[in-house]
Structure 1
Amino acid sequence: MIARDFFLDGSELFRTLSDWQPNVIVCFIVDDLVINLRDQIPPEVPIVSTARVQQLSNTAVVLASAIEFYCQAHRLFDQLQVNEVWQFVFGGEPTGQSSQRQYREYAARHNVVYHSQWAPEPQTLVDLHKSVEVDPDVEFWLNQLPKPVGIFSQNTLAGCYLARTCELIGLKVPVDVAIIGSDGFQVATSTHPPVTSVLVPAPEIGLRAVDIAIEMLETGSGPCEPVIIEGLTILERASTGGGCRVDCDIDAALQFIGQHACEGVKVNDVVEQTQGVSRMTFHKRFLEVAGITPGAAIRERRMREARWLLSQTDVAPGTICGLCGYREYPHFYKVFRASEGVSPTQYRNLVK
């Protein structure tokens, strides 16, 4: 099996797939793009998406548990003693309606009051580093909520959007509005204050998606309902008053490294995002528990990713360098050779 990795959009995506003529596709794309993809490729080619999409023929879905997210969000908001808990949903059908329906069902089963607010997705959402357009309806909604209030969202970037909107309209986070988003590390930490976010079991989701893809290739059929993977955790940051731990949380550090090492994070990032102690204290405790230093753990996670990409894909070593969190190839080459005893190219020739 030859695996190819790509990050493309729109017509470029379809042209590339047409050239590759894949036997199966594992992707993280939603709604309209998946529908278009399904229309563009032969119906016998299975698709496995790790993002929520509507039910389509020969298309399987693998997701983190939304119920687990709701439970943990409510538990955290209960600790904060907020007056109300709201779900915030960006536009985009049918995903928005699906999220609201799921939460409505959860609220009914767990005897909690259902509150949900929908808003159209702002055009500035793609680049929140530039500016945020305050939607008058969102501003009115935020202002009339009983403070303190807790808001969570399953939409990527929505937590960041809410935090910046609150700042612009004079609401204090987390004093007035506590926020939990599903934003990734780089987005969640780019706001002030940093947004509490979801840490999904990405490796488990990816492995299960690949297993299902192989199963669909071999049997011609796959699961009709979304496959739910549990193991989600909420990574507390300042938007819910987090970041004040008094002890080392090595499990959180290891999970954070597993999720983000290949994004170029450093030991300081691990300390800032998961600990409430000094770097020196964390380093000592991490070494006692894990048997290696935090830096070595980050390096080993990157090397594990590099070994997999070299052995299972045709991605060029120069590209793998960036995918594993290294900015410059000479540095990646040096680290890989020190770890494996051979160069990346030699390793690929040995194992393929």
Structure 2
Amino acid sequence: MPGMDTRGRRPRRDETDAHHQGLPLCDPGERQPGGSPVRIGALAPLTRPGWAEAGRHLLAGLELAVRDVNDAGGIVGRPLELVVRDTAADPRRAATAVDELAGLGVAAVAGEYHSVVARAAAVRADALGLPFLCSSAVLDALTEQPTPWVARLAPPQSRGWRLYADFLLSEGHSRIAVATEPSVYWASGARVLRDRLAPYGGTVVELDMRALTPAAVCDELADHRATALLLLVGHPEPAVPIVESVRRDRRLAGMTIGAPAGQPEFAGWATSLGEDGAGIPFLRYLPERLTPLGARVGTSLRERLAEAPSFVAFEGYDTVAVLAGVLRSSGADRTRTAASWPCVAVEGTRGPIRFSRVPGISVWQWGGAPIQVVDRDPAQPGRFRVLRTG
């Protein structure tokens, strides 16, 4: 049964976390070359209302890495295989997919972009004793309690959005408005911003997009004398019409528009907004320079996607690179895989990857994930400008 050890029971959390006590839980165990494929479940938003463009990039990275792993001999001679499930940004659909994938005998689950969806997947994977490596979701509380079964590559939201708040302060912004929709993710982001700005006299006014039209947003911005508007909303609706309305309102000339969740990273943003979509700072998770592996992977991803790869595509590639390393040592045993998170030492596309326990974070976390505040250059919207790093 999933999550059971060799004695027919699910390991206690203290057993799987026993590396804290110096116990040798990273032992690779028996290796069994050849035979049937080692299967990994892959979760991604591939249809609406999910952000399908992000899902396409995530899947491209996952698939390219699987190809490279198999070209290099697979998992001790066994081919690596993805079993893909579309979450469509639906938490219940994601939880059901995790159940199905566990029943299919996958060694681990990987992927997902939307934070609320990833949280549902993480909670279900934890309950089943199924290793889950989250690629791209940033919500701090992926699970309610600390778990040995889940690890994450993307930096926690609190870290990235604090850097974004610091960027706003450095640009002289103290009156911030956020156009927001109901979501644990958006509410968490707004709280991070408010907590970071408050000691410096900054204020955050929330504009509820359930009650306001884009034109009404402009009125609120003028009334509050806000100098920056952050889009904590979905794309293309209502983000695109909000940007268009603000850009055309003479009262708001010079207004900074921001999108910390990263919407302007993708080509669809530039296609929808053209020049209006430039000069809007957002968060992305790339270093100043990719590793040599990252440079090679970037070229292959560009060919596969027929466009510049986003940071999400690199997250997908790194996900499989990590899991392949773990599976080669754990023998695709779920318990050994979960026990191997603290032993990971993989050279990824964006730097060396290791996991640790981070205060306030319930899952194994890559602490070295790079963070940038970036925008599209107004003079050349196809070019990105790095505004701050952290």
- TM-score under structure 2 length normalisation: 0.46
Cα pair distance change 1:142/1:162, threshold 3 Å? farther
Structure number with the higher helix fraction is 1
Shift of 1:91: 1.7
Equivalence for 2:105: 21
* Alpha-carbon separation, structure 1, partners of 2:374 and 2:277: 11
Say if 1:118 and 1:176 are closer, same or farther in 2 by CA, change over 3 A.
Answer: same
**1:113 and 2:248 correspond:** no
Q: Does the 8 A contact of 1:69 with 1:232 survive in 2?
A: no
Please give the alpha-carbon distance, in whole angstroms, between the structure 2 residues aligned to 1:166 and 1:154: 12
What is the CA-CA distance between 1:92 and the residue it aligns to?
A: 1.1
- Which residue type is aligned with residue 141 of structure 1? E
CA distance in 1, matches of 2:210, 2:335: 36
Q: After the TM superposition, list the runs of 4 or more consecutive aligned residues in structure 1 that deviate by more than 6 angstroms.
A: none
CA RMSD of aligned residues (A): 4.3
List per-residue Cα deviations over 1:13-55 (Å, max 9, x = no partner): 6356366432211122432564267448861102232213434
Kindly provide the CA deviation profile for residues 181-236 of structure 1, in whole angstroms up to 9, marking residues without a partner as x.
Answer: 12032232122511423332236644664537938853534543554444333332
Contact between 1:90 and 1:155, CA under 8 Å: does it hold in 2? yes
Residue 64 of structure 1 deviates from its aligned partner by 3.4
Bigger RCO of structures 1 and 2 (CA < 8 A, at least 6 apart)? 2
- For structure 1, the 5+ residue unaligned runs are 123-132, 245-270, 277-352
| Residue 52 (structure 1) aligns with | 138
2-structure distance, mates of 1:40, 1:68: 25
1:31 is aligned to 2:107: no
1:268 maps to which residue?
none
Corresponding pairs, count: 231
Distance 2:366 2:232 in 1: 17
- CA deviation string 1:86-137 (max 9, x = no partner): 44443212x233223322332256x251314253579xxxxxxxxxx82687
| More deviation, 28-37/206-215 | 206-215
Q: Hey, what's the Cα distance between the residues in 2 that align with 1:272 and 1:137?
A: 28
1:143 offset after TM fit, Å? 3.9
Choose the corresponding residue for 1:188, options 269, 288, 300.
269
- CA–CA distance in structure 1, aligned partners of residues 118 and 231 of structure 2: 22
Matched ranges for 1:216-231 at <5 A? 218=336, 220-221=338-339, 223=357, 224-225=362-363, 226-231=365-370
Partner Cα distance (2:166, 2:125) in 1: 41
Q: What is the CA-CA distance between 1:175 and the residue it aligns to?
A: 2.1
Contact preservation (8 Å) 1:85, 1:150: yes
| Matched residue SS, 2:128 | coil
Q: Which amino acid aligns with 2:220?
A: W
2 CA distance for matches of 1:34 and 1:65? 13
Equivalence map 1:130-169=2 (5 Å): 134=213, 138=217, 140-146=219-225, 149-153=227-231, 157=235, 161-168=238-245
Whether contact under 8 Å (1:204, 1:229) holds in the other structure is no
The match for 1:243 is: 378
Q: Please name the residue that 2:194 is paired with.
A: 104
CA distance in structure 1 between the aligned counterparts of 2:203 and 2:111, rounded to whole angstroms: 32
Change (3 A) 1:194 1:176: same
Cα distance between partner residues in 1 of 2:250 and 2:169: 16
Q: Report the counterpart of residue 305 of structure 1 in structure 2.
A: none
Q: Verify the 8 A CA contact 1:199 1:234 in the aligned structure 2.
A: yes
Q: 1:7 and 1:200 mapped to 2: Cα distance?
A: 24
Q: 1:217 to 1:103 in 2, by over 3 A?
A: farther
Does residue 84 (structure 1) correspond to residue 175 (structure 2)? The answer is: yes
- Quick one: which amino acid aligns to residue 102 of structure 1? V
Q: Secondary structure in 2 aligned to 1:164?
A: helix
Letter in 2 for 1:4: L
Q: Deviations over 1:56-106 (max 9, x none)?
A: 243333323654554456546754x5562344443212x233223322332
Structure 2 distance, partners of 1:228, 1:89, is 29
Cα separation, partners in 2 of 1:61 and 1:175, compared to 1, 3 Å: same
Measure how far apart 1:154 and its partner are.
5.8
Whole-angstrom distance in 2 between the partners of 1:55 and 1:275: 30
SS in 2 for 1:231: coil
Structure 1 or 2: larger strand share?
2
The 2-side partners of 1:173 and 1:17 are apart by 53
Distance 1:175 1:83, change over 3 A: farther
Secondary structure of 1:64's partner? coil
